[in-house]
């Protein structure tokens, strides 16, 4: 079994409502737990950044399905490769709404991993995207 992590970014044709994001999360939780996939999905102002981890073929199949989903576009893989251990094993999928975070925290976090304090994951390199997601996951765990 080849444990793999895929990180991609995408944009939405328009801003998504809380109800739409929750619907995606519910589907993801139900499907991913059946496939032993774990991960994190970050959303802010029309941009997604998501990490999927699990068995290679399951991750590939899921990404191919997600990339065809008309609710977003310009899906771009930022990082893909084998991993020794999962980083998000506590979540079948965790939704982190960056817009729900306090403004100063959000801006500081994005600035730490980007060229500016604007969330533009399609412009991020894989290492930056990966570090941002891990920092967000750690902050979310601490806040729980
Ligand atoms: P069905 O539910 O049968 O849907 C058929 C088609 O319609 C698919 O192309 C589907 O993408 C599309 N569709 C479904 N609901 C809507 C809607 N409300 N509006 C417009 N089109 C719709 N799924 C997971 O299982 N795991 C994940 O981690 C995951 N992450 C996602 C992250 C993002 C950013 C997005 C946008 C979607 C994500 N999804 C995830 C959902 C995924 O794209 C599929 O919709 C889902 O897996 C169901 O696939 P299906 O083939 O059974 O399609």
**Extents of the domains making up the chain:** 3-143
Q: Which CATH class is domain 3-143?
A: alpha beta
- For atom 17 of ligand 1, the residue with the nearest CA is 71
Reported as a pLDDT band with limits 50, 70 and 90, residue 90 is very high
Q: For residue range 93-134, what is the model confidence (pLDDT) as tens digits? A: 999 999 888 889 888 999 999 999 899 999 999 999 999 999
Mutate to test the pocket of ligand 1, among 18, 22, 66, 122 (most ligand atoms within 8 A of CB): 66
Q: For residue range 1-36, what is the model confidence (pLDDT) as tens digits? A: 799 999 999 999 999 999 999 999 999 999 999 999
User: What does the DSSP assignment read for 28-59?
Assistant: HHHHHHHTT-EEEEEEETTEEEEEEEEEHHHH
Indicate the pTM of the whole model: 0.94
Query: What mean pLDDT do residues 37-58 have?
Result: 97
Tokens 């994001």 identify what position? Answer: 21
Q: How far apart are CA 80 and CA 132, in angstroms?
A: 16
């Amino acid at each position: 079994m080849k444990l793999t992590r895929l990180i991609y970014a995408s944009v939405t044709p328009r801003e998504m409502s809380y109800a739409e994001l929750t619907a995606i999360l519910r589907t993801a939780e139900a499907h991913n737990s059946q496939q032993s996939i774990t991960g994190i999905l970050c959303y802010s102002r029309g941009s997604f950044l998501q990490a999927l981890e699990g068995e290679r073929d399951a991750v590939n199949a899921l990404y191919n399905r997600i990339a065809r989903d008309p609710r977003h576009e310009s899906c771009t893989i930022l990082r893909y490769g084998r991993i020794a251990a999962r980083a998000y094993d506590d979540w079948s999928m965790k939704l982190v709404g960056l817009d729900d975070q306090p403004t100063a925290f959000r801006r500081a976090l994005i600035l730490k991993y980007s060229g500016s304090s604007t969330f533009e994951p399609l412009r991020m390199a894989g290492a930056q995207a990966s570090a941002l997601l891990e920092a967000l996951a750690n902050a979310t765990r601490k806040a729980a």
